[in-house]
Amino acid sequence: MSDTTVTHGWEHQDKPRVQQSELLEINMGPQHPATHGVLRLLVKTDGEIVQSVTPYLGYLHRCAEKIAEGCDWRQWMVYTDRFDYLAPMNMNFGYAVAVENMLEVEVPERAQYIRVICAELQRIASHLIAIGTFGLDMGAWTPLLYCFREREEILNIFERLSGGRMLYNYFDIGGVRFDAYDDFAEEVLFMVHVMEQKIVEYNTLLTYNKIFIERTADVGVIDAETCYAYGCTGPVLRGAGVPFDCRRDDPYSIYDRFEFEIPYGQGEQGTVGDCWDRYIVRMREMSESCRIIRQAVDGMPEGDFMSPDLKKLVKVPAGSLYTRTESSKGEIGFHIIADGGSKPFRNKVRSPSYSNLHVIEKVGPGMMISDLVATVGSLDIVLGEIDR
């Protein structure tokens, strides 16, 4: 229990009858079902009302940035997998693009298309987890299992592609590690076909459920200004009504060749920037990812999957560059400083969840415990990426 006291505003009465209650300090985590990993939120509550939220991080800190100093440029790709373990392809993509920008190497067309297909499939897989666990935070068990069912199909494709089901280490500097297998395109198109139908099913089951809307609309409102100030990106920023997406507004790889919409929150069920808006942005992004995948599969050429003019041991010229790409959680940035050697001098990872979680300190106070759980769920944090 803390010493902090709360007054209830009865002080103006003739006989001062100041009711004081102690704040209850309660640790949400590191072992707690609603924190999506080993996150500890120190919550001070007055009854059901949250007075302050302080996140404590670092339970999953693996010194990836220090390890980078001892790896060579290619080897560190493995560690990027482990940042956002729900979207390793997107993490791989970010790091590969970052190093390639500094090397100024030409990535073969076929590799570019495979990368985009993988990244978008991974975005769907990650969003499936996001909406599934978000539903679970609301007490809806069943959508989670449905989401996992479709995610399995995506993982099957990845398994055939890379050999891994969770951590792929598939992208490499200058291309991808293995060529796509023979019926890759058919499998992906079938998956997209299935996915587009399942999205309708999720909408019936969860999106427009009355209780779900009651629980998420007008809850945890994060407006655009707060997003800018706290560096929130991805679905959190788009949920706040800002149609910003690195894929379109700061294009990397070959995203400028595809046609797709940027869904953003419009306050259909409540205020712009509430939990429901963030949720629906993810839902619609999955459809858009399906669109991109269809176009990418159509345009995929034959050819090299790995840049032929790149040596095994990469040496990046000295310099510093911050490169950002759009992962499923938001803007994943790699700030890379090279000294011209075969090892990174400093790799700083600017992870989207790190900034997205920070905003909970701002929006948390004043909401109910249940809403805090809903809001943390709607931010879709992954602790591997926050703690690195």
Q: Is 254 in the site for another protein (CB under 8 A)?
A: no
**Candidate residues 198, 248, 291, 348; the one interacting with another protein per rule CB under 8 A:** 348
Q: Is 244 in the site for another protein (CB under 8 A)?
A: yes
**Candidate residues 163, 303, 319, 366; the one interacting with another protein per rule CB under 8 A:** 319
Q: Which of the residues 10 through 49 are near another protein (CB under 8 A)?
A: 24, 26, 32-34, 48
Total interface residues for another protein by CB under 8 A? 74
> Which of 215/294 has CB closer to another protein?
215
Place of tokens 């306050």: 267
> Which of 54/266 has CB closer to another protein?
54
Q: Is 322 in the site for another protein (CB under 8 A)?
A: yes
Q: Is 119 in the site for another protein (CB under 8 A)?
A: no
In the complex, least distance from residue 362 CB atom to another protein, rounded to whole angstroms: 7
- The span from the first CA to the last CA of the chain, in angstroms, equals 32
**Pairwise CA distance, residues 90 & 84, whole Å:** 8
> Which of 24/166 has CB closer to another protein?
24
Beta strand 49-56 with 171-172 is unpaired
Q: Is 318 in the site for another protein (CB under 8 A)?
A: yes
**Candidate residues 114, 206, 217, 281; the one interacting with another protein per rule CB under 8 A:** 206
**Pairwise CA distance, residues 265 & 274, whole Å:** 8
> Which of 89/99 has CB closer to another protein?
99
Q: Which of the residues 85 through 114 are near another protein (CB under 8 A)?
A: 101-102
Compute CA distances 198 → 149, 190, 232, 272, whole Å: 10, 12, 29, 26
Q: Is 208 in the site for another protein (CB under 8 A)?
A: no
> Which of 99/124 has CB closer to another protein?
99
In the complex, least distance from residue 172 CB atom to another protein, rounded to whole angstroms: 15
Q: Which of the residues 128 through 157 are near another protein (CB under 8 A)?
A: 135-142, 145-146, 149
Nearest to 251 by CA among 88, 112, 126: 112
Q: Is 79 in the site for another protein (CB under 8 A)?
A: no
**Pairwise CA distance, residues 175 & 178, whole Å:** 9
Count of positions (residues) in the chain: 388
**Candidate residues 11, 152, 183, 249; the one interacting with another protein per rule CB under 8 A:** 249
Which residues have a Cβ under 8 Å from the Cβ of 299 and sit 6 or more positions away? 113, 257
Which residues have a Cβ under 8 Å from the Cβ of 147 and sit 6 or more positions away? 128, 129, 131, 132, 202
Mind giving me the DSSP string for 146-182?
HHHHHHHHHHHHHHHHHS-SS----EETTEESS---T
Contacts 24+ apart (CB under 8 A), 5-14: 6/46, 6/51
> Which of 152/183 has CB closer to another protein?
152
